[in-house]
Amino acid sequence: MDAWVPWEPPLVCGRRRARSDVNQSFLQPFLAYNAAGGWTFGLNAESTCNLEARDWSVPINATVAKLVTFGKQPVQFTAGLRYWAETPANGPDALGGRVQITFLFPK
């Protein structure tokens, strides 16, 4: 298991504009299982927390990927479903999907 946790302090460049304070954190824990035949099964959450408003956005993604080659070019095809486990009052609340194509360039 691995996680990517970027954190950026709130910065204001130039003059302060009339707006609400912003203090957000992003957390992306993920699991991936690489199976035989070039298949990968993944599960992750792309969680964002607005610490000022105490609002969370927590989409949970389940993906399936297949690695194939066209000649010498490896390409990964990915498809997945997204479920919103937690959202702010006016945030998304339905199922979603994703489709992705990744061209790989190994040395």
Residues 25 and 51: beta-carbon distance below 8 Å: yes
Query: Which pLDDT belongs to residue 92?
Result: 87
Q: Which pTM was predicted? A: 0.73
Q: CA-to-CA distance for 22 and 6, rounded, in angstroms?
A: 16
Average of per-residue pLDDT across 40-46: 96
Residue 63 confidence (pLDDT) above 50: yes
Residue 55 confidence (pLDDT) above 50: yes
Closest CA to 37 of 69, 62, 73: 69
Closest CA to 61 of 106, 95, 15, 27: 95
Residues 10 and 22: beta-carbon distance below 8 Å: yes
